[in-house]
Structure 1
Amino acid sequence: MKKLHGKVALVTGSSRGIGRAIAERYGSLGANVVVNYSNGAHQARETVEAIERGGAKAVAVQADISKVADLDRLFATAIETFGRLDIVVASAGIELVGQPVLDFTETDFDRLFSINAKGAFFTLQRAAKHVADQGRIIYIGTSNTAYPLPGRALYGGSKIGAQFLVEVLAKEIGARGVTVNSILPTAIEGAGVFTGGVREEIRQFVQSFRPIQRMGTMDDIANAAEYLASDLASFVSGQHLLISGGAPA
């Protein structure tokens, strides 16, 4: 039997990138999956089709996580469709790098914090309200919060609040057997600013300081998400799993 057979997972921002990789992995493990997207209905349908080809059920739900009313509709639709929620992954986010503190604007701030901070906070709150006992809540953060770099103050700042919330929430709902953890990915090929590919000089730079001399992959993150969603991680909570190939970030 597949290890997530009978489980229901909701993954925000799962029409592309890391969210999609996690949604498809959970589907391959037998979970029924709620695929969330803000824009990109075609990509969301592709994700649903990929999950269904593997034998699991999936549904795509449009919702802007920066809007609490949309989040409420997303969670309500998930429960109406599948009857329960066992796993929630807060993956939706946007990335802005190479922006010095002296240069970012109020518009930049509002855009990043509305999704990466407000959206993540209320996703985790709704997850805590609706996930079943013994469930799993996972936040996709960033290695930038572990190792600050120039040009990343706004992005890292918008992501670190929900990382702190993970530790608090793990204590508040741990009695229900629900685990709450975060995954902190490093530079991942095909995700974020590398969605369109990786320039060779960037690849060489990464290899120069990373003990495991390569870029991170979608599978690296999906592997971590598989572990944290499984029974193997039933006693792991309030933790931040840094996926960086041995580097500090």
Structure 2
Amino acid sequence: MADNNLTGKVAIVTGSSRGIGRGIAERLARDGASVVVNYVGSQETAREAVGAIEQGGGTATAVQADVSDPGDVERLFSQTLDQFGRVDIVVANAGVECFAEVLAKELGKRQITVNIVSPGTTETDFFANAPEGEREKALERTTLGRIGKPEDIADVVAFVVSDDARWVTGHNIQAGGGYA
């Protein structure tokens, strides 16, 4: 059951074949959005993400695109528009902090909100390969006493892209369990 009604909306989530991006893609689909799972390298993991979304009753497709390549970005949006006819939500699952305030000011005129969700330490493949002792250090620095999960970040993103956050724009939301 959807917590935030995103029915009829279309979301592109970059880097969403695994980790935090996949958690975000799955959550937005659960909330009713049709999701474009963007990936760079592994078509197999992208297909797995699409399969998980579809198994949960959602709609998804995978599109390969390197978001550092303007031609690939154009193709990503073009394929999304061809398949779904619109784009309502874009989650750039990468560091774009320097653009948020400028984009919020520029796009606010068109009632488009722009926010950043900055995750704290999160259980991902990347963190699983962290040097010995890093987990303990991270646990000491979080006030909630645990490492975040991709779902924790996905829940915050689901709020930010929902109509409930229509008055929230230009902000960097720290989702780190009180990481100090």
TM-score, normalising length from structure 1? 0.68
Match of 2:85 among 83, 86, 99: 83
The answer for the alignment partner of 2:133 in structure 1 is 201
Residues 203 and 214 in structure 1, CA contact (< 8 A), matched pair in contact too: no
Unaligned runs of 5+ in 2: none
Q: How many residues align?
A: 178
Matches within 5 A, 1:121-160: 141=95
Of the three residues 1, 26, 31, the one matched with 2:28 is 26
Cα distance in 2, alignment partners of residues 165 and 75 from structure 1: 19
* Deviation digits for residues 70-95 of structure 1 (CA, Å, limit 9, x no counterpart): 1100000001100001100001x4xx
CA–CA distance in structure 2, aligned partners of residues 87 and 40 of structure 1: 23
Structure 1 Cα separation of the partners of residues 68 and 132 of structure 2: 35
Deviations 1:171-208 (A, max 9, x none): 111121110000111111115x31x3567732222222
Q: Which has the higher contact order (CA 8 A, sep 6+)?
A: 2
Partner of 2:123: 189
Q: Gaps (5+ residues) in structure 1?
A: 94-140, 142-161
Relative to structure 1, the CA distance from residue 197 to residue 28 in structure 2 (aligned partners, 3 Å threshold; closer, same or farther) is farther
Structure of higher CA gyration radius: 1
CA RMSD of aligned residues (A): 1.6
One-letter amino acid of the counterpart of residue 175, structure 2: I
Which residue matches 1:231? 163
**Paired residue secondary structure (2:52):** helix
Matching residue's letter, 1:173? L
| Residue 177 (structure 1) aligns with | 111
**Matched residue, 2:14:** 12
Question: Does structure 1 residue 40 correspond to structure 2 residue 38?
Answer: no
Percent same amino acid among aligned pairs? 47
Equivalent in the alignment of 2:55: 53
